[in-house]
Amino acid sequence: MKLDSIRRDYKKAALTKKEAAPDPIHFFSQWMNEALALELPDATSMALTTVGEDGFPQSRIVLLKDFGNEGFTFFTNYHSEKGRAIAQNPKVSLHFFWAELERQIRITGMAEKTGEEVSEQYFHSRPLDSQIAAAVSAQSTEVPSRAYLEEKFAEMKNRLDGADPKRPEHWGGYWVHPLKFEFWQGRANRLHDRLVYEKQAENWIIKRLAP
């Protein structure tokens, strides 16, 4: 397999300080809307990077479920590897890549558990089978087999007989409070556009970076 000859030019759009919204959350919302309008698969997926106790970073995809002044919200198991990493180091990054738009956004910020009511509301808004799967999965722990998971799932589903399971206390949301954003737009000849927003006091300072 030869990978070194695979290349494409990026020339769909440009990014100037003038067109960038002064508020990065607003600008994020514009770019997210454009990704959603194209009906890209998993447009709301993002790589969440945490730093574990061993000092190694770990990334995995999670789904963005909300964003705004509270921060960027995703849901997971607090006992998972990412949950354990965040408990000892709340510094995280979020990374979106929309290949069709030739765009990426990087966000660095501080993760904090959402209020219980946010977790409760979202947990029970999910399809019943997803709620059961979350309730029976001790995420990121070793399991003896696939059959073991399926038995636990079937047993709970049977027992509940159509009712919602109780949300496990260790399942819930995080808000990522952003401190820095980078908006990247691919350009011709690899001379890409990069705009960084950094929070200084209550203001966002915008800088252009070399590609």
Ligand X SMILES: Cc1cc2nc3c(=O)[nH]c(=O)nc-3n(C[C@H](O)[C@H](O)[C@H](O)COP(=O)(O)O)c2cc1C
To the nearest whole angstrom, how small is the minimum distance from the Cβ of residue 95 to ligand X? 13
To the nearest whole angstrom, how small is the minimum distance from the Cβ of residue 27 to ligand X? 23
Check residue 60 for interaction with ligand X (CB under 6 A).
Answer: yes
Residues 130-169 that bind ligand X (CB under 6 A): 139-140
Q: Is residue 139 part of an annotated ligand binding site?
A: yes
State how far the alpha carbon of 53 is from the alpha carbons of 56, 57, 58, 107, 203, in Å. 8, 9, 11, 22, 32
**Following DSSP, what letter does each residue of 54-90 receive, concatenated?**
TS-EEEEEEE--EEETTEEEEEEETTSHHHHHHHH--
To the nearest whole angstrom, how small is the minimum distance from the Cβ of residue 87 to ligand X? 12
Check residue 29 for interaction with ligand X (CB under 6 A).
Answer: no
Under DSSP, is residue 20 helix (H, G, I), strand (E, B) or coil? coil
- Which of 9, 19, 42, 100 lies at the binding interface for ligand X (CB under 6 A)? 42
Q: Which amino acid is at 19?
A: E
Phi and psi angles of residue 194, each rounded to the nearest 5 degrees, phi first: -135, 120
Q: Is residue 15 part of an annotated ligand binding site?
A: no
**Binding-site string for ligand X from residue 171 to residue 190, where x marks contact by CB under 6 A and - marks none:** --------------------
- Please state, in angstroms and rounded to a whole number, the distance separating the CA atoms of residues 106 and 11: 20
Q: Which amino acid is at 9?
A: D
To the nearest whole angstrom, how small is the minimum distance from the Cβ of residue 80 to ligand X? 3
Residues 61-100 that bind ligand X (CB under 6 A): 61-63, 74-76, 80-82
Q: Is residue 160 part of an annotated ligand binding site?
A: no
Nearer to ligand X, 28 or 75 (CB): 75
Measure the N-to-C terminal CA separation of the chain; round to a whole number of Å.
Answer: 28
Residues designated as active site: 190
Q: Is residue 185 part of an annotated ligand binding site?
A: no
Q: Is residue 208 part of an annotated ligand binding site?
A: no
Phi and psi angles of residue 112, each rounded to the nearest 5 degrees, phi first: -145, 140
Tokens at 172, concatenated: 């819930």
Q: Which residues are annotated as a binding site for substrate?
A: 7-10, 65, 122, 126, 130, 190-192
The contact set with ligand X (CB under 6 A) reads: 42, 45, 58, 60-63, 74-76, 80-82, 139-140
